[in-house]
Amino acid sequence: MDLLRYIRLGIQYHTFFSYDSHQITIRPITSMELDDASNKGYEICDTRLVSTLVKIRSGVFKADGEMKEIPPDLMLNMKKFRDEVDYHIVYYSMKDFMSPEFIVEDVRKMHSVHAISSQILGMSVVDKPTLIKIIRTRDGQKLAKIVYDFKVPLTDAAWKLTDLQTDFLYYNTEDAPIQVQNEDELEKVMEGISKHVK
């Protein structure tokens, strides 16, 4: 199961993206790197765009029809924001495998940046319902046992954790607010987790 491999290895996991008939090496990115990538996007935002982004994230703009209320110039600025975030996600993921001269400007010249970023995020972040399903699997419970019972950390420093790893650790504690769609699933999930947490 790939997601368990991403949880177990974190930024030590390396894979390839097929780019212009050769392979570029990428890895998951840490929570700190993802935060920094988002901050770089916000640096190019004016207050009007930030306000709109907050409305979108808080669910004020839910339906496609409501999205039409956003002026075209603001949509263009939102695209620039997303581009900036993706440039930095790809940069952080690739930089360890490139020469010391490699900078984010090199990423700006690349094509397929959004596709590369999407693959990187797929290794670094997962939605909570998907994570809960992984925790509930036999292999997910084995990994939790190794981490909690046998005290084998996922990494040697907290700043190296990906969002996926952090969430895995968080949702594998007894008092974690387990989120499941069906309440009758809650007991099963908690029983499986509590077996491996002291």
Provide the residue ranges of all domains of the chain, joining segments of one domain with +.
Answer: 8-124, 126-194
pLDDT in tens, 156-191: 999 999 999 999 999 988 777 766 666 666 666 666
- Tokens 């991403």, located at residue: 6
Distance, in Å, from the CA atom of 117 to the CA atom of 94, rounded to the nearest integer, reads 11
pLDDT in tens, 77-116: 889 999 999 999 999 999 999 999 999 999 999 999 999 9
Entry pTM = 0.85
Distance, in Å, from the CA atom of 108 to the CA atom of 191, rounded to the nearest integer, reads 48
